[in-house]
Structure 1
Amino acid sequence: MNERMRHARIARGSQEWLVRAIERYAREHMIDVASTRSLRVYVSEWENGRRAIKGRYAEVLRNILGLTDEELTAGPIAATPTPVVDGYDELIGRIDSARNVSMTLVQTFLDQTELLRTFDRQTGAAGLVDQMAGHLAKLEDALTFAVLPETRRPVAVALAGAATLAAWQALDVGAVERAWRHYELGKRAAQEANEPMYLAHAMAEQAYVLCDAGRPALAVDLVRAAWRAGGKRLSPRLQAWLHAAEAEICSRAGLPDDCRRSLDKALACLPKGAEDRDPDMLSIFLNHGHLARWRGNALSLLGDDGAMSSLYVALDSLDPTFIRAAAGLRCDLAQAHLARGEFDQSQEQLRQARLLAGRTGSVRHRRRVEQITGRL
């Protein structure tokens, strides 16, 4: 039984849904696949472990289900054996290559992370599994064989940012263990680079894994530990981001007073103006429009009437390229309307959220849509 594939598929739909998704992917990428009748048999046999996943079908399923090769096949895909060479010669060769990592190449790594972040924001994470895995592998390789601190540090910074992005993408497609491991990688890289901002950010995002796993109290402890890890070296925008994250997690932990205090602190330290990128940490997007969305989210979880106005302000100012954020915002609005007994409005927001979650392949938002739908 291929449990990983089966669970990933169930999170998205039926076996018939997967068959249609394979056919759609094949048309869009001009790949030849079997007939619909044969694909139905293949899907059943793949999930029951009676047929190996290989060739073009491995590529198709990776991108549809957001799984790595190892997760997809419940074991690594056999690689072509590498020639046996002298171990020292190979090691020195890799060390020499790593020594030649220049700031130009590090900037290339950063640019690749930014490109993947943009694609993720606009189209979702499910189709980026191969690219993200390859990107992380190159960064890890560069860091593993770099010897001197002046070479290691910039690579570690780049790895910390990429690993945290990969973790959030994994969480979005429902690969929670992979998300946790990526956050651990990001934390180690941040510690290697002596970058408290990256460490605090990775810890706070990792707290969301605990929340989704039903451990919000432990998540509160982790996000507060992130504050201690960051110390006095956090930028004002990152401080506001951490306060907002703490507010949301406190709301999910049933701590309304702590939630409201954190929201007030976030507003107090957020820089003025429409700019949303943190120049010291490009993974942070936060301005007053984003904070209004976050405030509405936290208050909606508390059933607070003040959520509605914040959420509609956020909807009016939301960047149209933030597709996944829009799905979350629609879920927040559905929840806020439901708390007020406005069932028709709640259903309409859920309809929009479901469409947006489908566009990005977000398992996380689909689960939330179904949770709120179950309360109607």
Structure 2
Amino acid sequence: MATGLKAVRTARGWSQDRLIYEMRRFAEQRLLDIASAASLKTYISEWENDRRTITDRYAAILRPLLGVTDDELRGVVDDEQELQADGYADLLSQIDAAGSLSESMVPSFLAQTELLRTMDRQMGATGLVDQMNGHLAAMEEALTFAVLPGARRPIATALAGASTLAAWQALDAGAVDRAWRRYELAKRAAQDAESPLYLAHAMGEQAYVLADAGRPQLAVELVRDAQRTQPERQSPRLRAWLAAAESELCAAAGPEMELAAHSALERAIKLLPDDGEVRDADMLSIFLNTSHLARWRGNVLAKLGDASAMEELYVSLDSADESFVRANSGLYCDLAQAHLARGELDDARSHLQTARLLANRTGSVRHRRRIEMLTGRL
């Protein structure tokens, strides 16, 4: 089984020639000096066949270009890092520093997560891998040396939110193993933070990994288990989000779960607070208002082949926030699927073209896979 550069290149659907083209374009845009196309052809062949080591100079180009970590790029399987501490003095120094983080550094951690979330929403995740890895590593290091619960909880809460974001970014980039591990990190952090909100949200998003992997029934069970995770402590908007996620996953599971999909969707509509807010005050990673839920309803109906999906989706398109580039790519995919169900191939083709442009803009491997699947039905 291929690992390293060859694996991530082929997963992205790029030939070696395409990778060369993208590397040179990336370098030109940033005024970087790299080898000629002919030399790069030789380098890539040698990198992929373990005859040459990828230098840090080229790794710094390939990581954001392909949306992978350094270990994934180089094919490192075991990425465990040993704790480096030089005796008791160093240990106590790190513990003392961590003790003050809840008051000084946690707001900075949260602000950095928010910045990365905004950049991801507008530009995609592929160019943020290094920043996100460094961000998570800093919080994990802080949590490792935070001793008392009062110091650990705020750091763990920040880590849970950032890890869930990192996991969704990895899933979107096609790095399934990294996505799964990030969700496991988010769940452990949420448990350390004693936060059923973050735990349930991580479980709900992790269910999409199972659905994408071809285990929709298991995905439905996981998101239902998330809803049973101390529901009395979950916010109404989170409960609505989980119900909507259950509805989408039921729709993806096939016709036998159509009634369950409709039932979960109705539950989501009833649970969503009518407060005019877009984000959950208790959990800023949840974006959900009536417009978002209407778009989600259109997505579910399109997956079910329901003719009423069309009206919902076009209404959502009129009110779509252009800064949600990845979400809008999904919306155009939903429209294409709805038109395909009605045999309107020209309309479906037009929407898929727009969806492809948006997916390419964000580097979304996940959306490109769906686009190719729908294109195959034209």
More displaced 10-residue stretch of structure 1: 242-251 or 94-103: 94-103
Instruction: Specify the alignment match of 2:7 in structure 1.
Output: 7
Instruction: Specify the alignment match of 2:293 in structure 1.
Output: 291
Runs of 4+ deviating beyond 3 Å? none
Counterparts of residues 229-240 of structure 1 (less than 5 Å): 229-240=229-240
1:69–1:76: 8 Å Cα contact kept in structure 2? no
Deviation at 1:2, TM superposition (A): 5.4
Deviation at 1:273, TM superposition (A): 5.0
Secondary structure class of the residue paired with 2:233: coil
Deviation at 1:281, TM superposition (A): 0.4
Counterparts of residues 328-343 of structure 1 (less than 5 Å): 328-343=330-345
- Give yes or no for the alignment of 1:245 onto 2:223: no
1:163–1:182: 8 Å Cα contact kept in structure 2? yes
Deviation at 1:275, TM superposition (A): 2.3
Residue by residue, what CA displacement relative to the aligned partner does 1:97-121 show, whole Å, maximum 9, x if unpaired? Answer: 1112142310100000000000000
Instruction: Specify the alignment match of 1:374 in structure 2.
Output: 376
CA distance in 2, matches of 1:297, 1:21: 33
Instruction: Specify the alignment match of 2:259 in structure 1.
Output: 257
Give the aligned residue type for 1:324. R
Residue by residue, what CA displacement relative to the aligned partner does 1:319-369 show, whole Å, maximum 9, x if unpaired? Answer: 110000011111111111101100000000110011000000000000000
Instruction: Specify the alignment match of 1:56 in structure 2.
Output: 57
- Give yes or no for the alignment of 1:206 onto 2:192: no
Residue among 362, 365, 369 paired with 2:364: 362
Give the aligned residue type for 1:89. A
Give the aligned residue type for 1:269. L
More displaced 10-residue stretch of structure 1: 68-77 or 162-171: 68-77
Secondary structure class of the residue paired with 2:20: helix
1:248–1:298: 8 Å Cα contact kept in structure 2? yes
CA distance in 2, matches of 1:271, 1:23: 50
More displaced 10-residue stretch of structure 1: 193-202 or 270-279: 270-279
Deviation at 1:148, TM superposition (A): 0.7
Secondary structure class of the residue paired with 2:228: helix
Residue by residue, what CA displacement relative to the aligned partner does 1:221-263 show, whole Å, maximum 9, x if unpaired? Answer: 0000001114211111111111110000000112100000111
CA distance in 2, matches of 1:51, 1:318: 47
Instruction: Specify the alignment match of 1:127 in structure 2.
Output: 127
Give the TM-score normalised by structure 1. 0.96
Structure 1, unaligned runs of 5 or more: none
Counterparts of residues 259-338 of structure 1 (less than 5 Å): 259-338=261-340
Structure 2, unaligned runs of 5 or more: none
CA distance in 1, matches of 2:171, 2:276: 29
Residue by residue, what CA displacement relative to the aligned partner does 1:51-76 show, whole Å, maximum 9, x if unpaired? Answer: 21112100110001111111111128
2:124–2:326: 8 Å Cα contact kept in structure 1? yes
Secondary structure class of the residue paired with 2:285: strand
1:2–1:48: 8 Å Cα contact kept in structure 2? no
- Give yes or no for the alignment of 1:347 onto 2:344: no
2:276–2:289: 8 Å Cα contact kept in structure 1? yes
Deviation at 1:274, TM superposition (A): 4.1
Evaluate the alpha carbon distance shift between residue 130 and residue 76 of structure 1 in structure 2; reply closer, same or farther with a 3 A threshold. farther
Deviation at 1:219, TM superposition (A): 0.3
More displaced 10-residue stretch of structure 1: 206-215 or 44-53: 44-53
Counterparts of residues 214-225 of structure 1 (less than 5 Å): 214-225=214-225
Instruction: Specify the alignment match of 1:43 in structure 2.
Output: 44
2:8–2:73: 8 Å Cα contact kept in structure 1? no
Residue by residue, what CA displacement relative to the aligned partner does 1:144-168 show, whole Å, maximum 9, x if unpaired? Answer: 1000110000000000000000000
1:335–1:346: 8 Å Cα contact kept in structure 2? yes
Evaluate the alpha carbon distance shift between residue 40 and residue 265 of structure 1 in structure 2; reply closer, same or farther with a 3 A threshold. same
Instruction: Specify the alignment match of 1:113 in structure 2.
Output: 113
CA-based RMSD of the aligned residues comes to: 1.8
Residue by residue, what CA displacement relative to the aligned partner does 1:303-332 show, whole Å, maximum 9, x if unpaired? Answer: 111111111111111111000001111111
Between the two proteins, the alignment pairs up a number of residues equal to 373
Residue by residue, what CA displacement relative to the aligned partner does 1:137-187 show, whole Å, maximum 9, x if unpaired? Answer: 000000010001100000000000000000000000000000000000000
2:301–2:308: 8 Å Cα contact kept in structure 1? yes
Evaluate the alpha carbon distance shift between residue 95 and residue 306 of structure 1 in structure 2; reply closer, same or farther with a 3 A threshold. same
2:187–2:203: 8 Å Cα contact kept in structure 1? yes
Deviation at 1:41, TM superposition (A): 1.9
CA distance in 2, matches of 1:145, 1:3: 34
Evaluate the alpha carbon distance shift between residue 102 and residue 233 of structure 1 in structure 2; reply closer, same or farther with a 3 A threshold. closer
CA distance in 1, matches of 2:325, 2:108: 26
Evaluate the alpha carbon distance shift between residue 50 and residue 342 of structure 1 in structure 2; reply closer, same or farther with a 3 A threshold. same
Give the aligned residue type for 1:45. E
Give the aligned residue type for 1:22. M
More displaced 10-residue stretch of structure 1: 37-46 or 307-316: 37-46
Counterparts of residues 122-201 of structure 1 (less than 5 Å): 122-201=122-201
1:2–1:46: 8 Å Cα contact kept in structure 2? no
CA distance in 2, matches of 1:72, 1:344: 40
Identity of aligned residues (%): 60
Evaluate the alpha carbon distance shift between residue 85 and residue 340 of structure 1 in structure 2; reply closer, same or farther with a 3 A threshold. closer
Instruction: Specify the alignment match of 2:67 in structure 1.
Output: 66
Give the TM-score normalised by structure 2. 0.95
